[in-house]
Structure 1
Amino acid sequence: MDSISAETIAGQRLMVGFDGTAFNDDLKLLIGTLRVGGLILFSRNIEEPEQIRQLCRDCQAYARQCGLPPLFVAIDQEGGQVARLKPPFTQFPGNPAMRAFDDAVHFARTTARELKDVGINMDMAPVLDIAPENINSIMAQRAFGGDPQWVTAMGTTVIDHLQQRGVMAVAKHFPGIGRTVLDSHLALPDLDVDMAALTDVDLVPFAAAIANNVAGIMLSHIRYTTIDSIWPASLSPSVTADLLRGQMGYRGVVMTDDLDMGAIKPGYDIETAIKRILLSDVDIALICHKGPDIEAAWQTIHGAIAEDAGLKEKAKQSLQRILELKKNYLSGPWLQRYGLTAA
């Protein structure tokens, strides 16, 4: 770990979006200069399967050429309302339409096969939010439902069948946004719910996901006022360091939701957000749109770990978690599938 440069440590803690459908100069900057650890694909990056396959292959090859670990290549493919891949990829009606375990198994097996075939190795799924039926939940059209046991059973089934087939699952949005009615894409919601209710309901699926070795957990941009009255979950040590890692014992990779969302902007500039992330034992900052915030985030991480011994130690711990996950999922056979060779 001591031999890894601060530049690489800073880059590996970023997962970023980009414009374009083919390898380009922007990707050369992101991978070669900023040394990012992951990319996330959106509809703007997608045309058809062979194009995606070539894009992923070229990005991985360039990372290897630059002496970097393999890239996380992620996508939101929940089915239903949130599915970036359109036909000819299999289309699913979404989590609320699932009525049996076989539905979850079929979704996960099919999705894993189709993602892996084009070089995508991480799915930002499943949604583990619990959407009560008596409110106009923002997650009503994306959640498995309002019963914690059902959400747990379906969510862990998706996790297991994605990961058994080599695609990393990311459970979201910790510690649960099903009770909210305000869209965090637009503004920062406050949620005033006591810890007993969170523990007995909202946290149940996440505890099961941890027990099932979920590859990653995504934090919400919700301010849970009984946990932290000042900071949203994605920027709060009370949520990640204390609750998720301390009390719930999660040792895997934790990432934010998109820092470009309205819950974070314009209330928190990128430097403030990144410094909070570094303090909170969050491993990966997700920035989904091209722009100056990506480089500013890299500079903030790089500067912080150069100047603060405590943050440098935390950064090494984060890097260790990231590299361990990459070692487990992005090993030689996976790379060789796409015409690359392992170290």
Structure 2
Amino acid sequence: MISFDFNSLPDMAGQRLMLGFDGQTLNSELKHLIKVYRAGGIILFKPNIESADQLRRLCMDARKYALDQGLPDLFVAVDQEGGKVARLRKPFTQFPGNPHMKTLEDARDFARITASELSDVGINMNMAPVMDVAPPDVNSIMKDRVFEGDAKRVSQMGTAVIKGLQDRGIMAVGKHFPGIGRTVKDSHFVLPELDAHLSHLKQTDLVPFEAAINAQVSGIMLSHIMYPRLDSDWQASLSTVIAYDLLRRDMGYQGLVMTDDLDMKAISHDMDTCIHRIMTAHIDIVLVCHAGPNITDARDAVMTYLERDKELFESGQACVKRILAAKEKFLG
């Protein structure tokens, strides 16, 4: 196990942050996130990426800098689903996306090649695969990003990607729990709602996530969607009922749980409220994907609740232990 000071509130808080930044080098902004905010992870987008050589230098420099600051190695994440959502463009291999994967061999080829290319540049986490199920009679917001077919087929294709990535050292993150395939609005801009009973979700949307759990997926990302039949007050990413009671307790998931990007428009609550809900729900990792005040607000709120609330401090220790165990397994 990585040596870690659980008495250091900044270090405990920082490990739970996965942050975006501006620039393509280990610049002063990124150094500040690592050295001062003690960030446990960073997430990359197209503006951070110019070429393979530049990206490799950025990732390696950032990871070395974290180690030089006495921190565990960084999670370096990217959304590389293929098709519509692919942050890495040529010369990286371009895949047409999940809807165009017709066979398990297609899924395995995607995972094998993607894992090799991510590993080569120092990225260790892929925010994939999408495990949502989109019925053909629904104009799903996810129709261009999901595996075609029913829950069983999504399970088969998704677990092939999970195993293919993780067997080659790349952490996979299944998304978007508990399933957004039947939603028609985009949580980047509004707060969608899915009025589905738990019994229905168990027969459809939750089936691929159950398969992902059985495949030992490293991470599961929560959606920003409201499921009023499950929790009438909070969207999944802020819901103890969904993130803890359903995912952790009922489905037995022991891996990393993370929010979707808290900068998205589906989140209208202030950051202090969001962080309190996240910590209460035992969610491990907070994603804030864009430079700006939300990063500082999120970090300050985590620090505050770790200091003031004994129960959140103790559950926070468990979260950090899960994070460090994942880093030990995949980052060495």
TM range (shorter): over 0.9
| 1:260-279 per-position Cα deviation (integer Å, ceiling 9, x unaligned) | 00100xx2111111111000
Counting aligned pairs with the same residue, the percent is 56
User: 2:294 aligned with 1:293, yes or no?
Assistant: yes
Aligned partner of 2:223 in structure 1 is: 220
| 1:114-163 per-position Cα deviation (integer Å, ceiling 9, x unaligned) | 00000000000000000010010000000002411110000000000000
Match of 2:171 among 147, 154, 168: 168
Matches within 5 A, 1:251-266: 251-264=254-267
Match of 2:108 among 102, 105, 109: 105
| Alignment-mate amino acid for residue 183 of structure 2 | T
| Alignment-mate amino acid for residue 327 of structure 1 | E
Cα distance in 1 for partners of 2:76, 2:7 equals 22
| Alignment-mate amino acid for residue 54 of structure 1 | R
| 1:171-212 per-position Cα deviation (integer Å, ceiling 9, x unaligned) | 000000001001000010111001111001000000010011
Matches within 5 A, 1:117-136: 117-136=120-139
Cα distance in 2 for partners of 1:298, 1:310 equals 18
Offset of 1:2 from its aligned partner? Answer: 6.1
Cα distance in 1 for partners of 2:129, 2:91 equals 22
| Alignment-mate amino acid for residue 243 of structure 1 | L
| Alignment-mate amino acid for residue 48 of structure 2 | N
- Please give the TM-score of this superposition, normalised by the length of structure 1: 0.95
Aligned partner of 1:341 in structure 2 is: none
Cα distance in 2 for partners of 1:3, 1:144 equals 41
Aligned partner of 1:316 in structure 2 is: 317
Cα distance in 1 for partners of 2:227, 2:168 equals 35
Aligned partner of 1:193 in structure 2 is: 196
Aligned partner of 1:64 in structure 2 is: 67
Aligned partner of 1:338 in structure 2 is: none
Cα distance in 2 for partners of 1:99, 1:81 equals 17
Match of 1:159 among 148, 157, 162: 162
Cα distance in 2 for partners of 1:280, 1:19 equals 30
| Alignment-mate amino acid for residue 125 of structure 2 | M
Offset of 1:240 from its aligned partner? Answer: 0.8
Contact 2:5-2:11 within 8 A present in 1 as well? no
Cα distance in 2 for partners of 1:3, 1:246 equals 25
Cα distance in 1 for partners of 2:147, 2:82 equals 11
How many residue pairs get matched? 329
Offset of 1:113 from its aligned partner? Answer: 0.2
Cα distance in 1 for partners of 2:48, 2:172 equals 21
Aligned partner of 1:337 in structure 2 is: none
Structure 2 CA distance for partners of 1:2 and 1:51, relative to 1, 3 Å: closer
Matches within 5 A, 1:1-343: 3-264=6-267, 267-331=268-332
- CA RMSD after TM alignment: 0.8
Contact 2:6-2:12 within 8 A present in 1 as well? no
| Alignment-mate amino acid for residue 206 of structure 1 | F
| Alignment-mate amino acid for residue 200 of structure 2 | A
Cα distance in 1 for partners of 2:196, 2:149 equals 16
Offset of 1:3 from its aligned partner? Answer: 4.1
Cα distance in 1 for partners of 2:317, 2:259 equals 18
Offset of 1:28 from its aligned partner? Answer: 1.0
Secondary structure of 2:244's counterpart equals: helix
| Alignment-mate amino acid for residue 126 of structure 2 | D
Cα distance in 1 for partners of 2:6, 2:87 equals 38
| Alignment-mate amino acid for residue 181 of structure 1 | V
| Alignment-mate amino acid for residue 102 of structure 1 | E
| 1:80-128 per-position Cα deviation (integer Å, ceiling 9, x unaligned) | 0000000000000100001111100100000000000000000000000
Cα distance in 1 for partners of 2:193, 2:44 equals 29
Unaligned runs of 5+ in 1: 332-343
Displaced runs of 4 or more, over 2 A: 1-4
Structure 2 CA distance for partners of 1:3 and 1:134, relative to 1, 3 Å: closer
Offset of 1:4 from its aligned partner? Answer: 4.0
Cα distance in 1 for partners of 2:185, 2:63 equals 38
Cα distance in 2 for partners of 1:23, 1:4 equals 28
Cα distance in 1 for partners of 2:312, 2:280 equals 7
Cα distance in 2 for partners of 1:95, 1:139 equals 10
